[in-house]
Amino acid sequence: MKITALLVLKCMPEGADPIILANACDVSHFGFFQRSSVREFIVFVSRTVGKRTPPGQRQSVQHDEYKVHSYNRNGLCVIGFMDDHYPVRSAFSLLNQVIDEYQKNFGESWRTAQADSTEPWPYLDNALTKYQDPAEADKLLKIQRELDETKIILHQTIDSVLARGEKLDSLVEKSSDLSAASQMFYSQAKKTNQCCSIL
């Protein structure tokens, strides 16, 4: 599961190209000579998908092994490029967090933007790194993962108790065998002692 890019755009309903307000991408898993082309492709696809995401809507677009998720909140649009294995609920939870954080930090100043921003937004870079694990973005997924781990530990504990129980059962059987053998030894010793006793 991998997030390749997160972008925040100003999408205008008039049909003009969306303006990039913030951009963070990790193209390190691509070849060195491919990286600039991949960045250009991310910008192109972001503008295209952002332009076609109506206000108040969410959508996902499949492209090869990647999914492009977008969320447009009244003209402020967040785009996420994730691989196909990244859970959709976690992706939209992340997009929602990014858009909330953007509005908290910048308010309505995005409405006056006229050109792409080249200034880095540290939160977006940190989010790109932090949310590579979908459980960080989606609390329900995190709780489910913890429950699964607890269930595994519980099964291991039950298995170990059963294994210990089986060992105890075999000890009990051995002890009952031992008492039968000791009873036999006692009775044979008694017989042997009877024939050899001197009166």
Size (the chain), residues: 199
Domain boundaries, position 147: 3-163
In a domain, 24, yes or no: yes
In a domain, 92, yes or no: yes
Q: What confidence score (pLDDT) does residue 113 get?
A: 83
Listed as own residue / partner, the contacts of 117-126 with beta carbons closer than 8 Å and 24 or more positions apart are 117/19, 117/20, 117/21, 117/22, 117/23, 120/22, 120/24, 121/8, 121/22, 121/24, 123/98, 124/6, 124/8, 124/22, 124/23, 124/24, 124/98, 125/24
The CATH number given to whatever domain includes residue 126 is 3.30.450.50
In a domain, 192, yes or no: no
In a domain, 73, yes or no: yes
Q: What confidence score (pLDDT) does residue 135 get?
A: 65
Q: What confidence score (pLDDT) does residue 25 get?
A: 85
In a domain, 188, yes or no: no
In a domain, 182, yes or no: no
pTM score, whole prediction: 0.66
Closest to 9 in 3D by CA, of 42, 36, 32, 38: 42
Q: How far is CA 176 from CA 82, 116, 168, 172, 183, in A?
A: 64, 85, 12, 6, 10
In a domain, 54, yes or no: yes
Q: Return the minimum-mean-pLDDT range out of 9-13, 25-29, 41-45, 191-195.
A: 191-195
Six token digits for residue 32:
């060195």
Confidence of residue 93 (pLDDT cuts 50, 70, 90): confident
State the Cα–Cα distance between residues 104 and 27, nearest whole angstrom.
28
What single letter denotes the amino acid at residue 65? Answer: E
Percent of the chain scoring above 70 in pLDDT: 68
In a domain, 67, yes or no: yes
Q: What confidence score (pLDDT) does residue 60 get?
A: 87
Count of domains in the chain? 1
Instruction: State yes or no: pLDDT of 168 exceeds 60.
Output: no
